[in-house]
Amino acid sequence: IKMVMLSVVVAELGLAYFGSSGAFAGSGAVSTFHRAGAMPRMKWDVTIAPWELEYGLQKSPVTLPAGIQEGDPPQPFEISDEQRQQLIDDGAVVIPGLLTDEWLQYLRTATDWQVKHPHFWSIAGVASGLYDYIQRSVWASNSAFADFMYYSPLASALAGLSNAKELRLSTDLLMVNPNKGFKWHQDNQNGPIDAFGERTALRWWVTMDDCPPDH
């Protein structure tokens, strides 16, 4: 059986990147998701009727990877001393093999469901036309993304990078199919976190599809 292991990029808070085809980004005690694809194309005419929106907590019908039960701790993942040092030296590190193809399919399915069931919190971002779909705090409104944070090896890897016993998610962002690029920028709107003073905040980024090397 061929197993595909997905790489995850982690960076210190404040670093910026150019958008690719889609993403779920986050920051906090440690935190991003991404979705890439073919040529971007608007799925809607930039407007979403209020009666098409959903409110409150959404439960997308996504099945957790085999062997994971509700209430389990996050799956383990060992971070090497070299990876910790690279994060300190370079401000960013790629973690190969963090997520299996099962977790990748889980995120893709959850994202596809979210796009078809837009949440109220997405209306401002979608109206901007920057992305086909964009929503902040998706982990707080869709149980599938919360379960990814709870059960996948991501939390173990982030804790290992920072030698932390506790993680707190400050913000996240699900972005699907950008329709225009971003110039260099600094994300500094993610809450009262003194990331530069104490180096306690991280940003993570998961691409859900193949991503060009320069992204």
pLDDT digit string, tens, across residues 105-158: 999 999 999 998 988 878 777 777 888 888 888 998 999 999 999 999 999 999
Q: pLDDT tens across 78-115, in order?
A: 999 999 999 999 989 999 999 999 999 999 999 999 99
192 pLDDT tier (thresholds 50, 70, 90): low
pLDDT reading at 8 higher than 70? no
What total number of domains does the chain contain? 1
Instruction: Pull the structure tokens for residue 24.
Output: 């779920």
Question: Which residues, including other chains, have CB under 8 Å from residue 150's CB and lie 6 or more apart?
Answer: 74
Q: How many CA atoms lie within 13 A of 150 on its CB side?
A: 15
pLDDT reading at 45 higher than 90? no
Asked whether the whole model's pTM tops 0.85, one would answer no
Average per-residue pLDDT for the chain? 76
Domain that includes residue 117, residue range: 1-39+71-179+205-215
The burial of 85, by beta-carbon neighbours within 10 Å (0-12 exposed, 13-18 middle, 19 or more buried), is given as exposed
Asked whether residue 13 is domain-assigned, the answer is yes
pLDDT reading at 33 higher than 70? no
Do 150 and 71 touch, CB atoms closer than 8 A?
A: no
Do 103 and 68 touch, CB atoms closer than 8 A?
A: no
Asked whether residue 189 is domain-assigned, the answer is no
Asked whether residue 195 is domain-assigned, the answer is no
pLDDT reading at 41 higher than 50? no
Asked whether residue 16 is domain-assigned, the answer is yes
Do 3 and 19 touch, CB atoms closer than 8 A?
A: no
Asked whether residue 196 is domain-assigned, the answer is no
